[in-house]
Amino acid sequence: MAVTGEKLVATAGMDAQPPPLLRRDEDARAAVADLVRRLGAERVLTHPAALFPYTYDASFNSEAHPGRPDCVVLPRDTQDVVTVMQVANRYHVPVVPRGSASAYSGGAVAHYGGIVVALNVLDRIIEIDADNLQVLCQPGVIHANLNDALAKYGMIFPPDPGSSKIASVGGMTANNSSGMRAVKYGPTLHYVLGIEVVLPTGEVVWTGGEGSKALQSVSGLNLTPLFIMSEGTLGVITQLRLRIIPKPESRGLVVARFDSLEDAAEMTRRIFRGGILPAALEIMDRSAIRAVNIFKPDLKLVECAAMLLVEADGSSAVVADTVGRIEQVARELATSVETATNPKEMESLWAGRAALGAASSLVVPGGTRVGMGEDICVPLKDMPATLRKIAEAAEKRQVAVVLYGHIGSGNVHSAIVVHHTPEEIERAKLLTEDIHALALEYRGTTSGEHGIGVVRRDYADAELGAAVTIMRQMQRSLDPNGIMNPGKKLPFADPAVVGT
């Protein structure tokens, strides 16, 4: 399908109107008063200053269009979330689940007002059952804290977003987060054995079998994945049973530099076709290397067209063998190659990649990185062309962009950097449209891991076709009043239809 920038517009997703049944001001006021009565004023934030931190997430959209909730509920337990649903249904006001609000999608922002449920306060690891390879925890547990706790048992929870120190496991599950290790270990989806979820109607269900400790099951229809990646549009996750695995004994890293993006992609192809499954396979292009050199000149990254970082993990013997094989492939194509197997050397080689989030903004003096068009995913073979075309589009739109990504999964991160002037933001929006159009042209997706929220929802029809109708029907069967995180994930259907 040929999709042009002209046909795909409205990246911000804020032009559509909410369905008419939601949120009249008097309903919202009555709902807040009811919540205060049932839960106590200390559990229901209403002061504008207290609400302010809940008006945005990491996306630029929420910065440009902050969404003000009518109140924020700090639940003590699942029952408090049930109470929220009962009240929201009674007054027809939106409910927006929120973890750490680190997503680049606007998903956790109450753009249509209503009740934000702050799940980060439910942050207990209930049980680590290392012998049965699982943990039971609440949704607000921070990813890095979970892995710190698991380290004592020699275990890890493998998904690893760059936001590890802030992202909650509930948010990761709702967004199906991935990260660098996904090339080998897959996304969060692969590690959720079951969840307790409060449905929009207020019922509480366990998917994956209540009380079950089974690591695999074919019982019933598989509801768990339906809620994973639903971005808070189908219910609130209040407990999770997560799969954990033994921590690999050892790690090793190969860094390879190239004269062309094509050579870097060819190395990626040869790694996989050579029967190697790395634990991370990352690319930084010239723009990313330059950004790091501005931010951390001491690192003295060698300027080149592309740099690959390829990690192997496993037993020491496996790592030694795998690193040797990766190095051999690298030497066939790269202009220079470095390897490391001791943790300190590896850390210093990874330092440039780790600094990229902060470094990107510095490519434009006084500029800021904005979360727009930053997460497309394309077939592996189209990575070089995609990176090149994004760079060309950025030049045409006169916008700075820093390019890097999880090349082992085809996931491109295009960090757009602008001054906050209306002209520059407008150009950044046009570039975002170009990038998303490119993703669809290459038969990829507009978001590989960061989520859809409001910022990418208007591509749903172009990307998913008739399946969107089925998704809406499923939503409506679980959420007859349309209260659950409205306007996220999918564009509003015809309001006349939603309202019936």
Ligand X SMILES: Cc1cc2nc3c(=O)[nH]c(=O)nc-3n(C[C@H](O)[C@H](O)[C@H](O)COP(=O)(O)OP(=O)(O)OC[C@H]3O[C@@H](n4cnc5c(N)ncnc54)[C@H](O)[C@@H]3O)c2cc1C
Could you tell me which of 354, 154, 182, 343 has the C-alpha nearest to residue 277?
182
Write out the binding residues for ligand X, residues 478-497 only, by CB under 6 A.
485, 488
Q: x/- binding map, residues 172-201, to ligand X, per CB under 6 A?
A: x-xx-xxx----------------------
- Tell me how far, at minimum, the Cβ of 235 lies from ligand X, in Å: 7
Considering beta carbons, is residue 171 or 482 the nearer one to ligand X? 171
Binding of residue 357 to ligand X (CB under 6 A): yes
Q: Please state, in angstroms and rounded to a whole number, the distance separating the CA atoms of residues 238 and 190.
A: 19
What's the gap between Cα 85 and its chain centre?
Answer: 25
State which residue has the least CB distance to ligand X.
171
Nearer to ligand X, 253 or 305 (CB): 253
Give the footprint of ligand X on residues 22-61 (CB under 6 A). Answer: 57-58
Q: And the tokens for 266?
A: 């060819």
| 193 touches 209 (CB < 8 A) | no
Q: Burial level of 61, CB count in 10 A (0-12/13-18/19+)?
A: buried
If binding is defined by CB under 6 A, does position 282 make contact with ligand X?
no
Contacts of 236 (CB under 8 A, 6+ apart): 81, 84, 85, 95, 97, 117, 119, 197, 198
The answer to whether 119 contacts ligand X (rule: CB under 6 A) is yes
In the set 97, 114, 194, 200, which binds ligand X (CB under 6 A)?
97
By the rule CB under 6 A, 163 interacts with ligand X: yes
C-alpha separations of 317 from 251, 284, 314, 320, 321 in Å = 10, 29, 8, 5, 6
Distance in Å, CB of 1 to ligand X, minimum: 26
In whole angstroms, the minimum distance from the beta carbon of 238 to ligand X comes to 7
Part of the chain binding ligand X (CB under 6 A), chosen from 161-169, 214-222, 297-305, 419-427 = 161-169
The answer to whether 240 and 207 are in contact (CB under 8 A) is: no
Q: Kindly give, in sequence order, each residue whose CB lies less than 8 Å from that of residue 420, ignoring residues fewer than 6 positions away.
A: 368
Measured from the CB atom, the residue of 108 and 281 that comes closer to ligand X is 108
Smallest separation, CB 417 to ligand X (Å): 15
The answer to whether 128 contacts ligand X (rule: CB under 6 A) is: no
Q: Which is nearer to ligand X, 119 or 242 (CB)?
A: 119
DSSP state at residue 121: G
Four-residue CA torsion sign, 364, 370, 372, 375: positive
Cβ burial of 473 (10 Å; 0-12, 13-18, 19+) is: exposed
170 binding ligand X? (CB under 6 A) = yes
Contacts of residue 490, Cβ cutoff 8 Å, sequence gap at least 6 = 233, 457, 460, 468, 471, 472, 475
Question: Looking at 43-51, 229-237, 293-301, 435-443, which segment touches ligand X (CB under 6 A)?
Answer: 229-237
d(CA 130, CA 136): 11
Helices (H), 334-382: 343-359
108 binds ligand X (CB under 6 A): yes
Judged by CB under 6 A, the stretch of 169-177, 281-289, 295-303, 474-482 that binds ligand X is 169-177
How many residues interact with ligand X (rule CB under 6 A)? Answer: 39
**Site of tokens 């590989």:** 448
Is residue 168 a contact point for ligand X (CB under 6 A)? yes
DSSP type of residue 169: H
Tell me which stretch binds ligand X (CB under 6 A): 125-133, 170-178, 301-309, 417-425.
170-178
The minimum distance between CB 212 and ligand X, in angstroms, equals 20
Sign of CA dihedral 13, 192, 197, 129: negative
| Burial classification of residue 236, based on how many CB atoms lie within 10 Å of its CB (0-12 exposed, 13-18 middle, 19 or more buried) | buried
For ligand X, the binding residue among 5, 18, 66, 162 (CB under 6 A) is 162
139 is a site residue for ligand X (CB under 6 A): yes
Residue range at the interface with ligand X (CB under 6 A); choices 128-136, 149-157, 444-452, 470-478: 444-452
Q: Which of 32, 82, 101, 307 binds ligand X (CB under 6 A)?
A: 101
Spatial separation of the C-alpha atoms in residues 398 and 424, rounded to whole Å: 9
Only segment of 27-35, 85-93, 277-285, 447-455 that touches ligand X (CB under 6 A): 447-455
Nearer to ligand X, 39 or 167 (CB): 167
Measured from the CB atom, is 11 or 173 closer to ligand X?
Answer: 173
Residue 5 sits in the site that holds ligand X (CB under 6 A): no
Give the binding range for ligand X (CB under 6 A) out of 166-174, 414-422, 439-447, 468-476: 166-174
Give the DSSP per-residue string, 303-337.
P-SEEEEEEEEESHHHHHHHHHHHHHHHHHH-SEE
Show the tokens assigned to 283.
């690319």
434 near ligand X, rule: CB under 6 A: no
Calpha distance 326→315 (Å, rounded): 16
Note the residues at the interface with ligand X (CB under 6 A). Answer: 57-58, 96-104, 107-108, 119, 139, 161-163, 167-168, 170-172, 174-175, 177-179, 231-232, 236-237, 357, 449-451, 453, 485, 488
